[in-house]
Amino acid sequence: MVGALVTREFTGVTAHAFATETEPARARLVSGVVAMVRSIRVHPLMRKIIDVDPEFLLPYLVERRGTSTTHELGLMEMALQAGRADGSIRTGKAAVQARAMWLLACSFTLTAPVLADEVSLEELDGQLAKLLDRYLAP
């Protein structure tokens, strides 16, 4: 039941994050990933899981992919294809690039709060945006 709730909540957050109409597609993808990270990081369900039962997340990080992750990867792959079409994203295998971006986003989602001691989460999110933008640039 908790898994279904997580899927419903995070799918909604992700869809909202990727709903922007920024052009070009690379800017839309970068802002979508950063928005997704910010939203999931502070989502009440995610905070509760981390506070009460962080081990719930472990299988989704080291053993298997959840439905939410599959949904996020699909949105990223579509955005990558749109960026190739408008020339704002470099060539490459979309599945590989989406997974690399997801791994980076996951790190910023789960561990950035631990490292936001001498720097702010906003500064770290700015660095995430730069990393993604440079990774995707043609």
Q: pLDDT tens across 1-41, in order?
A: 556 666 666 676 666 656 667 678 999 999 999 999 998 89
Task: Tell me the pLDDT tens digit for each residue of 59-81.
Answer: 888 888 888 889 899 999 999 99
Beta-carbon contacts of residue 17 (< 8 Å; ≥ 6 apart): 32, 33, 35, 36, 39
**Residue percentage of the chain with pLDDT more than 70:** 84
CA distance 127 to 107: 13
- 17 CA to centre of own chain: 9
